[in-house]
Structure 1
Amino acid sequence: MIRRLEDSEAGVLTVRASAKVNLHLGVGAPREDGFHPLDTVYQAVSLYDDVSVAESSEWAVETVLSPYLAGTALPGPGENIVDRVGELLGGGERGASVRIGKSIPVAGGMAGGSADAAAALVALDRLWDLGTPDEELLALAARLGSDVPFALIGGTARGLGRGEQVVPVADHGDYAWVVVPDPRGLSTPAVYRRYDELFPDAPAEPASASRVLEALSYGDPGRLALALHNDLEPAAIDLLPDLEALLERGEAEGALRGIVSGSGPTCVFLCESTEAAQAVADGLGAVRPLTLLAVGPVAGAHVVEVL
C-alpha cells in the first residue's frame, strides 16, 4: 500500500523515497522487446531523496545535492525523470515548483532516479488534488521505469517481469548495511550489454529468488548473507575491475557479505549489527573516502512534511 497523508493543505509538500538494494537479482536472456526478464528481491534502505513541491504557474525543477555528491553530473533542463512525472500526471499543462534533495548515489545501482519519480508521483498527485488510486499510480510508475513501482511500495518485495511486477514479501528482520558509492558511476544499459556479451547463452528464465525468500523468513542476517545473489555483478566488475578487491576488503573487515548493488558500481555490505557495520565502515575508510551506513527495510514513498 502506498503511504499517503490525509487531509493535507496545499503549500510546500515534501515526499521522501528510499534507495534500494537487490538482495537477489536473477537476469534472463533478452526478450523480444529488448528487456531482460528478472526475478529480483528489493529491499528499501535508509538513504533518501526528498522531493518538495509547491504550487506555481510554471513548471520548474531544481536539484540540490548532498555534500558527498558534489560534482555529480545532473540531467539538463526538461530531462529529469521528474519532468516525465509532471507530463504524465499533469499532461504538460500544470505548473509546480519542484525541489529534489538528493542523498542517494547517482548512477550507482540504488535506484535514486526511481526514488525521485516515486516521490514526485505522490507529491504532485497530492499537490494537484488528483486522488489517483494506488493501482493507477503503480501503473504510471511502471511506465516510468522498472524500479519505480517498488520505490512507491518500499519494504521488501519481489519483482518479476522486468522488475515492475512487485509483490510485498514478509520480512521480520532488521538488517545493517554499509554502502560504498563510487564516483565513476555506471550506465545501467552498459552493464546489461556487458552481461549479454559475457553470457550469450543465458537461460530465458532468470535464476529464482527462492533462496533469498527462504532466508528472509528467518529474519537472520547470516542466513541472508549466504543467499545474496546478483547476476549483473560479473558485468559490473568486468567494467570496473577494482570493485572485486573492494568486496573482498569489506568482507575481510568483518562484513557478512559484500555484493554489487544492482547494476553498480555501488557496493553494499551486509553486517551482523549496526555496531558491526560501523566497524566495517571504519575499516573501509582506509581505501574509500566515502562510506555510508543504512538499515533496512524501510518505508516506500511517503509524505514527511506539509507547510
Structure 2
Amino acid sequence: MTMAYEQPQVRVRAPGKINVFLEIGETQPDGYHQLATAFQAVSLYEDVVATHADDFGLAVSGSVDVSGVPVDDRNLALRAARLLAAETGYAGGVRLEVLKHVPVAGGMGGGSADAAAALVACDALWGTAVGSARLHGLAARLGADVPFALKGGTAIGTGRGDELSPALARGRFDWVLVVSEEGLSTPEVYGALDRHRDRHRLDIAPARAVPAVDSAVLHALRAGDPATLAELLRNDLQAAALGLRPDLAETLELGESSGALAGIVSGSGPTVAFLAESPEAAVDLQTVLVGQGLDALLAHGPVPGARVVG
C-alpha cells in the first residue's frame, strides 16, 4: 500500500468517442468478434470526482438522462476503483461522483469514459502511481473501449478494440450529434448483426477473419480532410442498429440533405454523428436539426483522453 496524497479530492475529465470506421469480423468461438476501428475522441465529456472515503460509493448526475445508470457494482466506474484498489493493495475506499454529458447507451463510450476517469482519479487520489502501461492493462480488463478513453486523440483499435495504435490526425473535425432518449444495448446490436449476416449470407461478402482499417481513412485523418473522411465513414453495426431503430434512417437522411458531409450511426447507436465541413457549417446543421425537433449537440475532435482537471 502507498500513502495517499493530501488533496481531499481529484477531478478527472474523459471524452466520449466516435468510431469513424468500424469493421466487424466473423464471430469467434467464444461469441465475441474481432474488429478494426478508427476511434476519435470528441468534446462531449464525463467528469468523475473522487473523494477519500472508508468504503466505496457512487453518485451519478449530469445533463443527460441518468435514470438507467446503475450505482452499484454493475457501474464501470465503481468496478474500476475496486480493481485499482485490489491490484495495488490500497486498503481505503473512495466516493465517486460521476457527472455525465455523453448520451447513456448511445454508442459513444460514456460508461467506458467513466471507468477511465475513475482509474486516473483514484490513482492520483490514493498516490498509487501505477504508471500508464499498467493503467492501460487495467482498463482493458474493464472493457474494450476503456483503454481508448484513457488515451483519447485518434487511434486504431484492433482485437476487441482494446489493442491500440496511435494515429496521427491534423486539424479539427466538427461533428453534430443527434442523441436519443432511448438507448440501444450493445450485445443486442451485435446479435442483430449476426442474424442479419446469416439471413443475407448469399447476398453479402462474408466477414473477414482479421478485419482492418482502410488505409485511406488514415490518410484522410492525417491530412485533416473532412470531405475525404466523409466518403470513407463505415460502421458495420449500422445496418443492425437501423433494423432495431428504423427511425434512425430518417435522421440520417435529414442530416445528409441539410448540409452534412456524411452521417453515420456512432458505434452500436443510437447516436447519429454528422461530419460537417467547418465549425460554422456544424452550427448551421445543428440549427436545422433542432428546428425539426431533434436533440442535436455540437462536438469536435480529436481531444485528449482522461486527465486531471481543476
Shorter-chain TM-score: which interval? over 0.9
Q: Match of 2:15?
A: 18
1:155 matched to 2:153? The reply is yes
Identity %: 48
- Contact 2:60 2:98 (8 Å CA) reproduced: yes
Post-superposition Cα deviations, 1:192-233, rounded to whole Å, max 9, x if no partner, equal 000001113433232533221121122111011111111100
Q: Distance in 2 between matches of 1:257 and 1:224?
A: 9
Q: Match of 2:165?
A: 167
Number of residue-to-residue matches in the alignment: 297
Q: For 2:104, which of 99, 103, 106 is the aligned residue?
A: 106
Q: Match of 1:41?
A: 38
Equivalent residue of 1:37, what SS?
strand
Equivalent residue of 2:269, what SS?
coil
- Contact 2:59 2:71 (8 Å CA) reproduced: no
Q: Match of 1:144?
A: 142
CA 1:298–1:239 in 2, change beyond 3 Å: closer, same or farther? Answer: same
For structure 1, the residue ranges without an aligned partner over 5 or more in a row are 1-6
TM (normalized to structure 2)? 0.92
AA aligned to 1:74 is V
Q: Match of 1:54?
A: 51
- Contact 2:60 2:71 (8 Å CA) reproduced: no
1:85 matched to 2:80? The reply is yes
Equivalent residue of 2:27, what SS?
coil
1:232 matched to 2:237? The reply is yes
Q: Match of 1:289?
A: 294
1:263 matched to 2:268? The reply is yes
AA aligned to 1:206 is P
Q: Match of 1:31?
A: 28
CA drift at 1:78: 2.6
Q: Distance in 1 between matches of 2:212 and 2:132?
A: 30
- Contact 1:41 1:209 (8 Å CA) reproduced: no
CA drift at 1:94: 2.5
Q: Distance in 1 between matches of 2:121 and 2:71?
A: 22
AA aligned to 1:266 is T
Equivalent residue of 1:63, what SS?
strand
Equivalent residue of 1:285, what SS?
helix
Equivalent residue of 2:26, what SS?
coil
Q: Match of 2:210?
A: 205
Q: For 2:255, which of 250, 256, 259 is the aligned residue?
A: 250
Post-superposition Cα deviations, 1:60-112, rounded to whole Å, max 9, x if no partner, equal 1000121xx23641114232111211221112843111100000000000000
AA aligned to 1:150 is F
Q: Distance in 1 between matches of 2:269 and 2:225?
A: 25
Q: For 2:65, which of 67, 70, 81 is the aligned residue?
A: 70
- Contact 2:36 2:158 (8 Å CA) reproduced: yes
Question: Higher relative CO (CA 8 A, sep ≥ 6), structure 1 or 2?
Answer: 1
Task: State which drifts further: 136-145 or 205-214.
Answer: 205-214
Query: Pairwise CA RMSD of aligned residues?
Result: 1.5
- Contact 2:62 2:99 (8 Å CA) reproduced: yes
Q: Match of 1:182?
A: 180
- Contact 2:169 2:221 (8 Å CA) reproduced: yes
TM (normalized to structure 1)? 0.93
1:303 matched to 2:308? The reply is yes
Task: State which drifts further: 209-218 or 269-278.
Answer: 209-218
- Contact 1:39 1:209 (8 Å CA) reproduced: no
For structure 2, the residue ranges without an aligned partner over 5 or more in a row are 199-205
Post-superposition Cα deviations, 1:9-65, rounded to whole Å, max 9, x if no partner, equal 521210000000001000001112222101100000000000001111121100012
